[in-house]
């Protein structure tokens, strides 16, 4: 992967993605394969929004690579609270660390950060924008469960604000995948994302009802519909209820359907799905560590060229 930063899934080619997934598979088998070359390296974790999960996953990955992390801590106790710009914050942190993982509530934050620093920036979520490292682990999981060729994927829930959805859809255009987007009318994919998908020649259809396509799907990727997207509680309850699944729903699906979710879930997947063969979301979460190890290994680079990284 010849990139300085990972800002959006759209920058990734099929070759880039496969290189990371292959490397992740190697590292999952043998975490020591990376050797000592990250031993003196520090990764800065800059989370301007609370997200223990993604942060822990990056923290674990960096430590498993033999490096260490420094954590900006919660925004409430940082200079940001005093009105410091993001551009200033990352320029200061650049002096502390060899790479920056950034989660921020504004779209485009990681792109902006990347323009002010020379160390690699990983976008760990920018508002309703992108979350490309999540996409890599999603694809890793899909490849393990269903393969990435001749794939029919349903993506359901909050498609408007769901950054994991935007990144995943964009990355899937590299593969032989048919995409079905299932959401309430008010939470359809944004124009900008649709524009890119059409531009990439994606085969996609939009639906408001899961039953229209459930029986065709190899993978169903479920996301949370958040209460704050709706003006009132009643409307939320009514709409969100139509996009929740349970074991009964899945009786109408193919036996080998894989159900995924970026987690945390609330009630969009009932607990009775967990025990079925469909459920892949916990394995998916676990895959975050080897995939982020592979990603950081690539981005932080170093001796990669002489250390088994040939051909990447």
Partner 1 sequence: MSDPERELRVSKIRNGTVIDHISGGQALNVLAILGIDGSEGVGVSIGMNVPSDKLGTKDVLKVEDRELSQGEVDVLSLLAPEATVNIVREFEVVEKKRVERPERVVGLLTCPNHNCITNQDEPVESAFEVVDDGVRCEFCGEIVREDIGDHLAVH
Binding residues vs partner 1 (CB under 8 A)? 85-87, 104-109, 111-112, 115, 126-129, 190-193, 195-196
53 in active site: yes
Q: Which is nearer to partner 1, 67 or 129 (CB)?
A: 129
Tokens of 300: 């932080």
Residues ≥6 apart with Cβ < 8 Å to 9? 130, 132, 135, 166, 167, 168, 170, 171
Determine whether the annotation assigns residue 141 to a binding site. no
8 A C-beta contact, residue 220 and residue 152? no
8 A C-beta contact, residue 55 and residue 47? yes
Measured CA to CA, the distance from residue 284 to residue 140 in angstroms comes to 8
Check 131, 143, 160, 180 and give the catalytic one. 131
Q: Which is nearer to partner 1, 60 or 106 (CB)?
A: 106
Determine whether the annotation assigns residue 23 to a binding site. no
Tokens of 198: 């059409």
Minimal distance in Å, beta carbon 293 to partner 1? 28
38 in active site: no
2 in active site: no
131 in active site: yes
DSSP state of 222: E
Q: Which is nearer to partner 1, 190 or 308 (CB)?
A: 190
Q: Which is nearer to partner 1, 226 or 249 (CB)?
A: 226
Check 5, 103, 145, 166 and give the catalytic one. 103
8 A C-beta contact, residue 38 and residue 164? no
Minimal distance in Å, beta carbon 104 to partner 1? 8
Minimal distance in Å, beta carbon 40 to partner 1? 32
Q: Which of 241, 246, 286, 240 is nearest to 263 (CA)?
A: 286
276 in active site: no
Determine whether the annotation assigns residue 160 to a binding site. no
Q: Which is nearer to partner 1, 199 or 256 (CB)?
A: 199
Measured CA to CA, the distance from residue 260 to residue 282 in angstroms comes to 9
Residues ≥6 apart with Cβ < 8 Å to 189? 159, 160, 165, 166, 169, 181, 183, 197, 206
The count of residues in the chain is 312
Minimal distance in Å, beta carbon 11 to partner 1? 13
Minimal distance in Å, beta carbon 277 to partner 1? 37
Tokens of 286: 């676990």
> Which residue is listed with tokens 């892949």?
280
**Residues forming the annotated binding site?**
53-54, 82, 103, 131, 134, 163, 224, 263-264
**Residues forming the annotated binding site for L-aspartate?**
82, 163, 224
- What is the set of active-site residues? 53-54, 82, 103, 131
């Amino acid at each position: 992967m010849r990139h300085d930063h990972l800002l959006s899934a759209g920058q990734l080619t099929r070759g880039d993605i496969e290189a990371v997934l292959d490397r992740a598979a190697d590292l999952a088998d043998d975490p020591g394969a990376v050797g000592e070359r990250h031993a003196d390296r520090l990764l800065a974790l800059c989370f301007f929004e609370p997200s223990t999960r993604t942060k822990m996953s990056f923290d674990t990955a960096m430590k498993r690579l033999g490096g260490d992390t420094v954590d900006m801590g919660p925004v409430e106790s940082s200079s940001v609270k005093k009105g410091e710009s993001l551009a200033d914050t990352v320029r200061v942190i650049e002096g502390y660390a060899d790479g920056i993982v950034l989660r921020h509530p504004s779209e485009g934050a990681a792109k902006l950060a990347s323009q002010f620093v020379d160390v690699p920036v990983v976008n760990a979520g920018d508002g309703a924008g992108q979350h490309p490292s999540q996409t890599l682990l999603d694809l890793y999981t899909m490849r393990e469960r269903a393969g990435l060729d001749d794939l029919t994927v349903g993506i359901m829930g909050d498609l408007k604000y769901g950054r994991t959805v935007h990144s995943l859809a964009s990355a899937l255009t590299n593969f032989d995948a048919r995409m079905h987007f299932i959401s309430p009318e008010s939470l359809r994919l944004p124009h900008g994302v649709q524009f890119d998908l059409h531009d990439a020649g994606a085969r996609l259809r939009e639906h408001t009802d899961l039953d229209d396509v459930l029986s065709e799907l190899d993978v169903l990727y479920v996301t949370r519909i958040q209460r704050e997207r709706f003006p009132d509680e009643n409307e939320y309850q009514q709409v969100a209820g139509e996009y929740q699944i349970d074991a009964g729903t899945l009786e109408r699906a193919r036996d080998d359907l894989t159900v995924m979710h970026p987690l945390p879930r609330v009630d969009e997947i009932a607990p009775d799905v967990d025990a079925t063969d469909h459920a892949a979301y916990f394995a998916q979460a676990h895959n975050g560590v080897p995939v982020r190890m592979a990603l950081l290994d690539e981005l932080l680079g170093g001796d990669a060229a002489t250390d088994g990284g040939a051909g990447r």
